[in-house]
Amino acid sequence: MKNAAALLADLIEEWTIPKGQTSLGHRREVASKLGSDVWSLHQRAVGYLVQIERDLDALQAAGDDVDYYIETVPSWYQAVFSVAAGWDNAVGSTVRVTDPRDLRLLRALAGTVDTARLSPKLPAEQLADLRIAVKEAGDLVAGAGEDVLKDGPRRYLLGLIFEASKVIEEIEVFGSAALRSVTFELGGAMGAVAELVEDEETKTTWREKSRKVLAQWSAVVPIAAITRESTLRSRASPAVDATLLEAPDLSRSRLSNLTPRAAPFSPVYGVRGPGMLPRGQRQISDGL
């Protein structure tokens, strides 16, 4: 189960353009080999970039010296979005999409992330239990009455459940950090519902299902971290729960405010909302 830096490094290597091919044609071949289409594969690469930024934030906040990684972020962006040879020009010799030194640094970051345990790996049996917990959450959400969930919040939760199920089934593609993110968001949002309902039996059921989604991480992530992140996701402010979950016209993008970041990446749906990738955008803009 690789982390985002390792997954992106593998993809960048795959994108090396063979002699006589165009970059776009070759990327289509790579996507097909990986069971995807070219633009869905690029969306996946953006997800890796978003997670890399979050990992760098975490390392930096913990006091690690990551300046050399941060300085190289624009090169990794350009490897995904920019091809010096041009998208439709056949190359006369093999062309790498990034400097080999920048690729080695990306692999070094992957090792650092693993050492820091920023991308926890769920054992197979816990992954199976999480699959069951997510399915049970889906049954609960789908069967909830209008007195518990209005249409907007129901769609939001069902969207998270779909994402979580997709990532579980393709964990080697999306990585465990993506799974942790979406399941923490799901567990936190379900916990917020539990706090709003008045019926005690319903409240207990939602709390139990919320905890079941989160509990699978307890062996690989300190329980205090689970509690903190799920609380942040479900309670961006004291008024968030009632305002967001009771609003009848609530859209998915507004409900994403349950999370502490302005625009988290959904591995299935893409980036939610504005404000994507502030550091990378700024550095690429400065460098071009």
Taking only the tens place, the pLDDT of each residue in 193-221 is 999 999 999 999 999 999 999 998 876 65
Using 50, 70 and 90 to split pLDDT, how confident is the model at 281?
A: very low
pLDDT higher than threshold 70 for residue 227: no
Q: What proportion of the chain, given as a percentage, has pLDDT over 70? A: 76
Q: Letter for the amino acid at 34?
A: L
Between CA 232 and CA 224 the distance in angstroms is 12
Strand partners, 6: none
Residue 275 CA: distances (Å) to CA of 8, 256, 265, 272, 284 = 22, 13, 11, 9, 15
Structure tokens of 182? 């979406």
**Tens digits of residue pLDDT in 12-27:** 999 999 999 999 999 9
Band of the pLDDT at 34, cuts 50, 70, 90? very high
With 80 as the cut, is the pLDDT of residue 61 above it?
yes
pLDDT of residue 269: 54
Instruction: Express as a percent the part of the chain with pLDDT over 90.
Output: 64
The pLDDT, as a whole number, for residue 84 is: 76
pLDDT at 246 over 50: no
Range list of β-strands (E), the chain: 265-266, 270-271
Please compute the mean of the pLDDT values over residues 221-244 and round it to a whole number.
40
More confident residue, 30 or 255: 30
* Residue 34: CA count within 13 A, CB half-sphere: 24
Mean pLDDT, the chain, rounded, equals 81
pTM over 0.85: no
